[in-house]
Each structure stands twice: as C-alpha cells, then as structure tokens.
Amino acid sequence: MSKSGHAAFEKQPATILTGPQFSRVNIKVVGRLHAIRVDFLPGALHRFLGIPMTELFDGGFDAADFWGSELRSLHEQIQQEQDIKVAKSLVEKFLIKKAAALHSVLPFHEAMKEMLRKQGNIRIEDSASIACMGLRQFERKCKEIIGMGPKTYARILRFSKAYRLHEAFPGLSWTKIAYEAGYYDQMHLIRDFKLFAGVNPTIIEQELQHTPLRMQKDLRIYEA
C-alpha cells in the first residue's frame, strides 16, 4: 500500500486494522489475493478496542498488536483453510466472542448509524439530538469515538456514496451522481474528490478503467 503523494509501496501485515480513513490509499496486488474484509459500523471499533479513535486516525496497523496471540492463531487457521466460507465463519466466531464483552449500545451509536443510513445527509443538530447530547458535547464525542468531527464524517459519507455510485454505475453522469449523493452542486462533489481522493472525478474515472479492483462498490451500508 502507499499513501497519496508517496511513490513507494510498503508490504502490509497479514492482518491489517485500518483506523478512520481520511486520505487516499493506493493498493498494489502481486499475483492472486484471497482476503476477508470486515467493515465496522461507526463507533464499533472504539467499542472493541476501548481507545480514542484519534490515535488510529488515517493509519493502518498490525491487528496482532491489538489482539495478540488470539489473532495470530486465527490467521494460522485461515491460512490452512481452503474454503473461503469456512474462513469467514472463523472470523465471525472470533469477533462474536469479542463482542460478548462489549457494553450496551448508547444513543450516540444510534445517532451514528442514522447518519450512516442517511449517507451524511442529516443536520448535525439532529444527530446530536438523537445522541441526547448538546452540539459541543456531540462534536467532542465524535472525535473520541469515530476519530473526526461530525461534519467531516458526513462529508466522507457523501463522498463514499458518490464514489460507490460511479463504481457500480460507470455510465451515470457526475451531475446525476452529485444529485443522488446529496451534494448541493457538482462543484461541491469535485471539492470533496480532491480532498479525499487527491484528484478530480474525471481522473478517478480514468484510473478505474485500468484496474479490476472495486473496493467500495460492494460495501454493505447499514439500512435497518
């Protein structure tokens, strides 16, 4: 992997834990890759690890540094398993076991799920109300639990929806995508692409024509 602006690619740990992502990351796959990806709802990683997400902001870490010998044992089991469905089941059992020790879901987590469900198109004041918090308290809690302020998180959600729409429906115009993702106009979409992807949408469109990887298209978004 390499971060935007860095030419060198660095080999990643066998099991990588990614904190709240803000900057673009480039991925180079050598040969065939079989991988299992776990996507956490906003706030869930904080509940699992119990540390401020600002400490993991925009970084990738060796998951074994957090879960030690249990994680290494799990990875060894996965490497020996030929059936990817069985391997996924092993990962689920590992996380369910860890989840048994978690505290109850708070109104704040419900507010984050509602923001995710609406893809960032919700007033911050309304999110704070769902969390049963004042606006300033809500902003501080967001930085602790999801690693960034609520306005930044809402922008990332809108950008993610726009990016996924283009991956899934490359024939859609950027004007249509901007509307569907909840942007005020196309210029606001372009601004967010430059911030989070490092380039404008046209460049992303050209780059995706030369890679088979679609990292966002199949991302399951909470809708329940």
Beta pairing, strands 2-3 & 25-26: antiparallel
From 33, 5, 69, 42, select the one nearest 221 (Cα to Cα).
Answer: 42
For the ranges 2-11, 138-147, 206-215, the maximum mean pLDDT occurs at 138-147
Q: What percent of the chain has pLDDT over 70?
A: 92
Q: How far apart are CA 33 and CA 27, in angstroms?
A: 12
What is the arithmetic mean of pLDDT over 196-220? Answer: 73
CB 41 within 8 A of CB 21: no
Query: For all residues of the chain together, what is the average pLDDT?
Result: 88
C-alpha pair distances (Å), 216 with each of 142, 165, 208, 220? 23, 9, 12, 9
Q: Where are the domains of the chain?
A: 2-99, 107-208
Q: What would the pLDDT profile of 74-92 be if each residue is shown by its tens digit? A: 999 998 988 999 999 999 9
CB 143 within 8 A of CB 159: no
Q: What is the pLDDT of residue 104?
A: 81
**pTM, to two decimals:** 0.84
Q: Which CATH superfamily is domain 107-208 in?
A: Homeodomain-like (1.10.10.60)
Q: Which two tokens stand for residue 112?
A: 């984050």
Q: How far apart are CA 151 and CA 196, in angstroms?
A: 14
Distance of CA 155 to the CA centre of its chain: 13
